[in-house]
Amino acid sequence: MVHANTKYTARRDSRRLAKASSRARSLLTATLLSGGALALGLASAGGTYALLNASVQTPAVTVTAGTFELRVNGAASSALGTWAAVTPATPVARSFTVTSVGDVPSVLNARIATTTSTAITANTQARLTPVANAAACAVGLGGPLADLSGYTLGSLDRLAAGQTKTYCLEVRLRPATPTTQSGQGVGFTLTIGADQEAR
């Protein structure tokens, strides 16, 4: 009898324990589920949930750089043609235009490189002068006169953004050029450069 009673009590205790354990498991599961739901809810809301906040933004902008190019006679390069009949007594002058295409003022420079090595090259001189227009281009103007080969002008002129100016290139032979060099040719390239000017 005692034995039966003990068995019964033990079974009852075991059932009570199992019930309590099951209840605890349910409670834990419910807590985890509600916690998970809360976390999901907050996470999906994406922001704080119990504080005041506010924000503003400056407008986004795009900044664009300017440009700067030169044009000779309206093109990236221009042939000045054949300069015939140049003698020590008869220099020849030709005009060309330089245009600043872009957004900055600039200071022009010039340099001449010869492309031939004939003897007459050493007796050939050049003079580059800014002029008002093509009609004003003539020999004997005020630009510096120097040997054609290696002719360099560090500061030819100032050109405003978008401005076009005319220049006069004079080519002449030294008075003492030997007649033996008559008929020889000189090839050269005039390069006009420009550096942006501070403004």
Residues that bind another protein (CB under 8 A): 48, 51-68, 103-104, 195-196, 198-199
Question: Which lies closer to another protein via its Cβ, residue 44 or residue 53?
Answer: 53
- Nearest CB to another protein, comparing residues 13 and 103: 103
Query: Between 104 and 131, whose beta carbon lies closer to another protein?
Result: 104
SS3 78: coil
How many Å apart are CA 5 and CA 75, to the nearest integer? 117
C-alpha 7/C-alpha 12 separation (Å) is 9
Q: Least CB distance from residue 189 to another protein, whole Å? A: 21
- Give the nearer residue to another protein in terms of CB position, either 49 or 183: 49
Q: How far apart are CA 67 and CA 161, in angstroms?
A: 10
Cβ proximity to another protein: between 144 and 162 the closer is 162
CB of 61 to another protein, least distance (A): 5
Question: CB 42 → another protein: shortest distance, Å?
Answer: 16
- Both tokens of 158, joined, read 């100032």
Among 57, 199, 176, 45, smallest CA distance to 120 is for 176
Instruction: For residue 77, give the nearest of 190, 196, 171, 164 by alpha carbon.
Output: 190
Instruction: Tell the smallest beta-carbon distance from residue 192 to another protein (Å).
Output: 16
DSSP string, 99-133: EEEESS-EEEEEEEEE----GGGGGEEEEEEEESS
